[in-house]
Structure 1
Amino acid sequence: MLLVRPPGVYPPQGDSHLLRDALTNAALPPGAAALDVCTGTGLLAVAAARLGAGQVSAVDISASAVLAARCNAWLRRLPIRVHHGDFLSCAAGRRYDVVTANPPYVPCPRHAAWSTRRARSWDAGEDGRWYLDRLCAAAPHLLKANGMLLMVHSALCGPAVTVRMLRDTGLKTSVVARRRQPFGPVLLSRAGWLEDQGLIAPGQREEELVVIRADRVPSPS
């Protein structure tokens, strides 16, 4: 899928495509209300609309990403509403049948966090969980009954922690997709620091990506 991508907007990579494949395999209900968090170019929002979602919203804190997602939706004549801001503020009071999320999740030294505008697309604190933890806490408030969350991140930041946090909120949770890939430029540049922190083994230069699904199952009446 060819997408408009202004400079500074996170390009769809292995994590984006793994999440899109998981969404395709999830069998969206016709007319589903969908939300794509940290939408970037809008790849997942476009995919949701093409898969039959009736109401698609997307949100990103980057103004350039919002412009890109709006352009990509307009070029395909898809009725996607793209919002600029923090996902918790933009989605407050609304619930969705499906929420997709590819948030920043790369661990970074405290002094280097968000050192550039582009780094906001991947930096996520020393353990990589700054956005992940917020999403886990918010998930049950974003989902309708029988709604599902699909979230992708690196195994470097603890899939077991994500699964536990989501289950603790009452969601039925599991890992539904995995993929190994070589480090990209950002992780390669931090490999020494990641080794020092014990986040990777000495000499490790590949990561595993995971997609975690969480479902809001209604309580028996």
Structure 2
Amino acid sequence: MSKAPVRIDQWLAEASARLAHDKSQSDPESPAVDAEVLLLHRLGKPRSFLFTWPEHLLDEAMQAQLAADLDRRFSGEPVAHITGERDFWTLTLESNPSTLIPRPETESLVEAALGLPLADEARVVDLGTGTGAIALALASERPHWQLEAVEYSAEAAALARRNAARLALPVTVHQGSWYAPLAGRRFDLIISNPPYIDPVDHHLEQGDVRFEPKSALIAANRGLADIEQIALEAPQHLTPGGVLMVEHGYDQGAAVRDLFTAAGLTEVKTGQDLGRRDRFTQGVWPGENSSK
């Protein structure tokens, strides 16, 4: 027997209720938001459609597709992997399991970078770009900045290039480890969201991170090894007065400030995300004559 059509408001209520019982995630997004994203992806409609046409009926085929999506989400699979995309800043980015899913907390890094007094044609590089989120967000707001990005994973670098091409944003993506593709180059801003989770952190077994590559999440030395490398090598790649800006964990601010200071950076300070948690640290390279 075929299934009777279901109103979208009814489907949303039932889907949200089911996702609310998912205990596998430590910090899940709102079940209602997840249900909306899955539905809108299948419908190919903007969010306003849900409020304008709550009586719109979902046929049997659509219900079957949504049921499969809901099963995947209930098993813990990230919504971004189910839909193949993720919204970040004002952009919609292709997302897949090759790299991290862009997160709202990282938007605080973008906002802080846009507030820097950089020249109109500043040279900027995003290290460990993943989907290209940071570099592409900056390129969308500062079209005259010269944006480049570096990504170690060949698959993720290809993903970032696809996002840049689809959004028609002029970001050059290099494949390699941190500064390796940038020998002899200097920038006015180096920005990065590197791996910073302690390998023994229990949160690695919870939520969306279970489905993301560990290489993009964890770093040795209690999560600080990659940040330390980025900071120590930054003076070789910053112009005098250039800024290094790195995302980190909410409890790593003091340690990262020490690493920046040890690298010879000045004006070191830590910024917070919208949740008022320490989220990134920045510092200025004063120039060769001011090194330690």
TM-score higher than 0.5 here? yes
Given the alignment of the two structures, is residue 2 of structure 1 paired with residue 92 of structure 2, yes or no? yes
Instruction: Map residues 60-75 of structure 1 onto 2, 5 A cutoff.
Output: 60-75=151-166
- 1:54 deviates by 3.3
Question: Which moves more between the two structures, 37-46 or 164-173?
Answer: 164-173
- 1:20 deviates by 1.1
- Deviation string for 1:106-162 (max 9, x for gaps)? 00139x9xx997111101125111201111111111101111111110033x32222
- 1:91 deviates by 1.8
The equivalent of 1:185 in structure 2 is none
- Deviation string for 1:7-48 (max 9, x for gaps)? 332111133212111112224320111100010111111123
Q: Distance in 2 between matches of 1:23 and 1:83?
A: 21
After superposition, the Cα gap between the structure-2 partners of 1:53 and 1:106, relative to the gap in structure 1 and judged at 3 Å, is farther
Given the alignment of the two structures, is residue 120 of structure 1 paired with residue 224 of structure 2, yes or no? no
SS in 1 for 2:92: coil
Q: Is the 8 A contact 1:109 1:125 kept in 2?
A: no
Q: Distance in 2 between matches of 1:53 and 1:173?
A: 26
Q: 129, 135, 146: which one pairs with 1:39?
A: 129
Q: Distance in 1 between matches of 2:103 and 2:174?
A: 22
Question: Which moves more between the two structures, 4-13 or 98-107?
Answer: 4-13
The equivalent of 1:86 in structure 2 is 177
Amino acid at match of 1:60: E
Q: Distance in 2 between matches of 1:53 and 1:62?
A: 28
Structure having the larger proportion of residues in strand: 1
Given the alignment of the two structures, is residue 160 of structure 1 paired with residue 254 of structure 2, yes or no? yes
- 1:87 deviates by 1.2
Q: Is the 8 A contact 1:173 1:214 kept in 2?
A: yes
The equivalent of 1:173 in structure 2 is 267
After superposition, the Cα gap between the structure-2 partners of 1:27 and 1:52, relative to the gap in structure 1 and judged at 3 Å, is farther
Q: Distance in 1 between matches of 2:173 and 2:274?
A: 31
Structure 2 residue runs without a partner (length 5+): 1-90, 205-209
SS in 1 for 2:245: strand
TM-score with structure 2 length normalisation?
0.60
Q: Distance in 2 between matches of 1:92 and 1:15?
A: 31
SS in 1 for 2:244: strand
Q: 229, 235, 244: which one pairs with 1:134?
A: 229
- 1:176 deviates by 4.3
Q: Is the 8 A contact 1:34 1:53 kept in 2?
A: no
The equivalent of 1:17 in structure 2 is 107
Q: Distance in 1 between matches of 2:171 and 2:144?
A: 10
- Deviation string for 1:53-111 (max 9, x for gaps)? 4321101111222112101111122221101110121122111011111000000139x
Q: Is the 8 A contact 1:41 1:66 kept in 2?
A: yes
Instruction: Please give the root-mean-square deviation of Cα atoms over the aligned residues, in Å.
Output: 2.4
- Which structure's relative contact order is higher, taking Cα pairs within 8 Å and 6+ residues apart? 1
Q: Distance in 2 between matches of 1:212 and 1:129?
A: 13
Given the alignment of the two structures, is residue 98 of structure 1 paired with residue 193 of structure 2, yes or no? no
Q: Distance in 2 between matches of 1:80 and 1:179?
A: 25
Q: Percent of aligned pairs with the same residue?
A: 26
Q: Larger C-alpha radius of gyration, 1 or 2?
A: 2
SS in 1 for 2:197: coil
The equivalent of 1:201 in structure 2 is none
SS in 1 for 2:125: strand
Q: Distance in 2 between matches of 1:180 and 1:30?
A: 27
Spell out structure 1 runs of 4+ moving beyond 3 A.
none
Instruction: Map residues 190-201 of structure 1 onto 2, 5 A cutoff.
Output: none
Q: Is the 8 A contact 2:105 2:274 kept in 1?
A: no
